[in-house]
Chains A and B, each alone.
Chain A
Amino acid sequence: MGMTQAERILARATGNESVVAGEFIVADIDLALLHDIFAAQVFDTLADVGFDDVFDPERTVVVIDHLVPAPSAEAAAIHQRIRDHVTRLGIEAFYDSGTGICHQLLPEHGHIRPGSLVVGTDSHTTTYGALGAGGTGIGTSDMVYALATGRLWFRVPETIRFELTGSLQPTVTWKDVILYLAGRFGADAAQYKAMEFGGEAASRADMSSRLTVANMAVEMGAKFGLFAADDITNSYLLDHGGIGCEPFGPHDDAVYETVHEISLSDLEPQIAMPNEVDRVGPIADAEGLTIQQAFLGSCTNGRIEDLRAAAEVLAGKHIAPGVRLLVVPASRDVLKEAMETGVLATLVDAGASVLPPGCGPCFGGHGGLMAPGERCIGTHNRNFIGRMGSPDAEIFLASPATVAASALAGAIADPRDQGVKHA
Chain B
Amino acid sequence: MPETLVQGRVWRFGNDISTDVLSPGTYAVAPLEIRKLHVLESVNPVFASECQPGDVIVGGSNFGCGSSRETAPENLKAVGVACVVAESLARIFMRNAVAVGLPVLVCEGVHDVFEEGQVIAVDLATGAVTNRTTGDTYQGDSLPEEMRTILSAGGILEVLRTRANG
Contacts and interface: CB of A to CB of B under 8 A. Distances in A.
Contacts of B68: 123, 137, 139
A142 interface: yes
A138 to B, nearest CB: 6
Interface stretch (B49-57, B92-100, B114-122): B92-100
Contacts of B90: 191-192, 221
B130 interface: no
Contact of B141 (A22, A49, A50, A191): A22
Given A123-B68, A140-B70, A25 B164 contact: no
A142 B141 contact: no
Contacts of A185: none
A144 interface: yes
A153 B68 CA distance: 17
Interface in A20-47: 22, 24-26, 45
A141 B147 contact: no
A257 to B, nearest CB: 13
Given A192-B91, A223-B91, A50 B160 contact: yes
Given A153-B146, A188-B62, A142 B95 contact: yes
B24 interface: no
Given A145-B160, A188-B62, A188-B65, A50 B165 contact: yes
Nearest to A146: B156
Interface residues of A, number: 26
Interface string B41-84: 00000000000000000000010010010100000000000000
A141 B164 contact: no
Interface in B116-142: 141
Contacts of B94: 155, 192
Contact of A221 (B91, B95, B141, B163): B91
B165 A191 contact: no
Contacts of B157: 45, 49, 141, 144-145
A141 B70 contact: yes
A378 B109 CA distance: 42
A26 B146 contact: yes
A105 to B, nearest CB: 22
B91 A24 contact: no
A93 interface: no
B91 A50 contact: no
Contacts of A363: none
Contacts of A255: none
A138 B94 CA distance: 11
A49 B161 contact: yes
A286 interface: no
Contacts of B92: 137-139
Contact of A145 (B144, B159, B165): B159
Interface in A140-193: 140-142, 144-145, 148-149, 153, 155, 188, 191-192
Q: 3 closest pairs, A vs B, by CB?
A: A50-B164, A141-B99, A24-B144
Interface of A: 22, 24-26, 45, 49-51, 123, 137-142, 144-145, 148-149, 153, 155, 188, 191-192, 221, 223
Given A139-B96, A191-B88, A192-B90, 17 more contacts: A24-B146, A49-B157, A49-B160, A51-B160, A139-B68, A141-B70, A141-B96, A141-B99, A142-B96, A142-B99, A142-B156, A144-B156, A145-B99, A145-B159, A188-B62, A191-B91, A192-B94
10 contacts: A24-B141, A26-B144, A49-B160, A50-B165, A139-B68, A141-B70, A141-B156, A148-B160, A191-B91, A221-B90
Interface of B: 62, 65, 68, 70, 88-92, 94-96, 98-100, 141, 143-144, 146-147, 150, 155-157, 159-161, 163-165
